[in-house]
Amino acid sequence: MTSSDRTIADIMRLAPVVPVIVVDELEHAVPLARALVAGGLRALEVTLRTPTALDAIRAMKQVDGAVVGAGTVTNQEDLAAVIEAGAEFVVSPGLTEPLARAAARERIPFLPGIANSGDIMRGLDLGLDHFKFFPAEASGGLPALKALAAPFHQCRFCPTGGIGLNNAAEWLAFDPVLCVGGSWVAPRGEPDSVTIEAMAREAAGLVA
Ligand SMILES: O=C(O)C(=O)C[C@H](O)[C@H](O)COP(=O)(O)O
């Protein structure tokens, strides 16, 4: 499958956990991506939280098996920049109509954040049915997502925010959850490849 054929659903099914990554130093990007992919986590979300994020996306794309996306994309300017850097999917903490329409025009797989019924209904109106549930724990946790998913049975989710190895399995056991996002597998700072690969392998062994 070439990257341009992949849908957001395909990307969400690559592994049960999508690492949410903050890259402070460009030299950390490739060793981090290599360790995560070696452990079985292929879809990588690089957040636009640091000035190195765009270069980190470019660098991580060179790692075999990595499918590199951008996170914290909040507007059309961010979207243009991450597409230029080669991002293969786009994650946003929220859902705005201008960003959703621009992502559709660019035909880039798009995972916007939702936290209530109105968000989901706005997404459905825009032709979207795969969402990041964010911030997952602070928005009421699994009971909240279960309540939200009931009227919107066609939707699939990637809960993110407050999820770790301690609670990921519980989220993943809920059918509409295709994967969870989390920063725990990609700690900030100089990457310790052995530890990161081991954490990634543990995360990849969780069942969606
Ligand atoms: O940066 C973004 O675009 C976000 O939307 C936020 C991140 O997805 C969460 O902050 C990750 O949450 P933790 O795994 O609890 O650290």
ipTM of the complex: 0.94
**What is the pTM (predicted TM-score) of this model?**
0.96
Indicate the top mutation candidate among 47, 99, 119 to test ligand 1's pocket, ranked by most ligand atoms within 8 A of CB: 47
Instruction: Specify the pLDDT at position 19.
Output: 98
What are 127-182's pLDDT values in tens digits?
Answer: 999 999 999 999 999 999 999 999 999 999 999 999 999 999 999 999 999 999 99
Cα–Cα distance between 74 and 78 in angstroms, integer? 7
45 is catalytic: yes
CA-nearest of 151, 158, 110 to 136 is: 158
For residue 17, the cross-strand partners are 180
Q: Which residue among the candidates 61, 132, 137, 197 is catalytic per the annotation?
A: 132
How confident is the model over 29-62, as pLDDT tens digits? 999 999 999 999 999 999 999 999 999 999 999 9
Distance (angstroms) between ligand 1 centre and the Cα of 175 equals: 22
Q: Which domains does the chain have, with CATH numbers?
A: 3-204 (3.20.20.70)
Query: Any catalytic annotation for residue 146?
Result: no
Would you say the CB of residue 47 lies under 6 angstroms from ligand 1? yes
**Cβ(50) – ligand 1 distance below 6 Å:** no
